[in-house]
Chain A
């Protein structure tokens, strides 16, 4: 699809999206050390739990899925502020707002790149976290499925909240405070599916609900984030 901006030159949505993705990926690559920080954070938090709870055999296993989920969720919160921060500082955000391409498309690409570069590595490392926490091997599949469905949803919700706080300067702790109540259902169904599987109960339902929520989130998330950006950055 294309739209014609006021000066008459049509804009191809696909090329705009590709350009945005290239730019965002290049920026991440330029600071590739930073991109691994959420992963490191998740591993470190996961290693705190055995230290705090004691590592007797069988003690961690029932908690492993929940702890892994919380670690992944917290590490996602850490990187959320970076989603628009540098753009807001150097003025690229204004260009995005003024662009003839729909803001929601640009934001969607931004969220996708953010998920691939910050959440996906943590999800890939989840087997490692699960092993550290002595999760039963048979539950790993459910855990991975729930994380793969849940973390994009977390990124989408987080992008809306981050868009609202973009005008707040260095908001610090504000962003996690706003995002966490909205993360509750994702956490409940994500960690809940593994808990159900552990008890031998039906767990596909929770995964289906997550998948359905993700489908809705993929449509509404970028639109809501774009609307929020226009509100807080007007």
Chain B
């Protein structure tokens, strides 16, 4: 067995995973804050005002990283779910389930900041644009995974069912995106193209986006480890090591 595989299996065992998560989660949160603060500073004060949208565009530095994270986390969740279902690795089940609340939060941030941004620029809180609609459906799918995980009595079955739903969902998300694209193209809508400004973004506007994007990724990993650790401890609550940890060795 090569060393990487060995490391993988070792870290996957519940007590080792607990130690691993406890060790790295604070680092991830710390890095996220260290990156987020200058990123936000840059977004709010350093970056020049947009000639068309004025200052309202500054919400982009929250909105876009959150949207990317919401999508990224969905793929990460499905990947973990796939591994969990195929190779029956318990740690991956826990990780996949722990992804869902973080992803749901990022999707919610995306939708909320998007509609706050849409009000001054589009003149409406909500537009049935393909991107908005598919993000909304993705948000619902996240909530579905969480709800299903909570609904089943047997913890192992609940985690595996939630994993299965995540897999079905990840197939669904591109189909939804494609279908609403097709659907909206019927109506010759006057939706503003979100991608228009992004590809031609000036370098002076780009660097805070890079920082906040990295920050959200680190925040996700930290939050994932923290949540997975809690789930892991709950799953293993009958084990002596978990009890010892919970009672502080008393």
Contacts and interface: CB of A to CB of B under 8 A. Distances in A.
Interface of A: 160-161, 164-165, 167-169, 171, 174, 177-178, 180-182, 184-185, 188-189, 192, 195-196, 199, 201, 206, 224, 227-228, 231-234
Contacts of A184: 137, 172, 176, 179-180
A112 to B, nearest CB: 21
Contacts of A201: 186
A192 to B, nearest CB: 5
B160 A231 contact: yes
Nearest to B165: A164
Given A182-B168, A192-B186, A201-B186, A177 B144 contact: yes
26 contacts: A164-B161, A164-B165, A167-B161, A168-B151, A169-B153, A174-B147, A177-B140, A177-B144, A178-B165, A180-B140, A181-B137, A181-B140, A181-B144, A182-B168, A184-B137, A184-B172, A185-B176, A185-B178, A189-B182, A192-B179, A196-B186, A201-B186, A231-B85, A231-B161, A232-B152, A234-B157
Contacts of B143: 177
B148 A165 contact: yes
A110 B131 CA distance: 37
Contacts of A161: 165, 168
Interface in B83-99: 85
A178 B140 CA distance: 8
B209 interface: no
Please provide the 9 A-B residue pairs with the shortest distance between their CB atoms, ordered closest to farther.
A168-B151, A185-B179, A181-B140, A188-B179, A178-B144, A231-B160, A188-B183, A164-B161, A232-B161
A224 B168 contact: yes
A188 B130 CA distance: 12
Contacts of B164: 164, 227-228, 231
A168 B151 CA distance: 6
Nearest to B136: A181
A181 B141 contact: yes
B151 A181 contact: no
Nearest to A224: B168
B190 interface: no
A174 B141 CA distance: 12
Contact of A228 (B153, B161, B180, B182): B161
Contacts of B148: 164-165, 168, 174, 178
Interface in B138-173: 140-141, 143-144, 147-148, 151-154, 157, 160-161, 164-165, 168-169, 172
Given A185-B179, A228-B164, A231-B164, A167 B154 contact: yes
B22 interface: no
B137 A178 contact: no
Q: Is the interface of B mostly helix, strand, loop or mixed?
A: helix
A196 B160 CA distance: 41
Given A165-B148, A174-B148, A195 B186 contact: yes
B173 to A, nearest CB: 9
A171 B158 CA distance: 13
A234 B152 CA distance: 12
A95 to B, nearest CB: 19
B206 interface: no
A231 B159 CA distance: 9
A184 to B, nearest CB: 5
B175 interface: yes
A159 B90 CA distance: 26
Contacts of A196: 186
Contacts of B175: 185
Nearest to A157: B168
Q: Which of B140, B144, B169 has the most CB of A within 10 A?
A: B144
A207 B105 CA distance: 36
B157 A189 contact: no
Contacts of A174: 147-148, 151
A168 B183 contact: no
A196 B175 CA distance: 19
Contacts of B151: 165, 168, 171, 174
B34 to A, nearest CB: 36
B149 to A, nearest CB: 11
Contact of B180 (A188, A206, A224, A233): A188
B165 to A, nearest CB: 6
The CB with the most chain B CB atoms within 10 A, among A160, A164, A180, A192, is that of A164
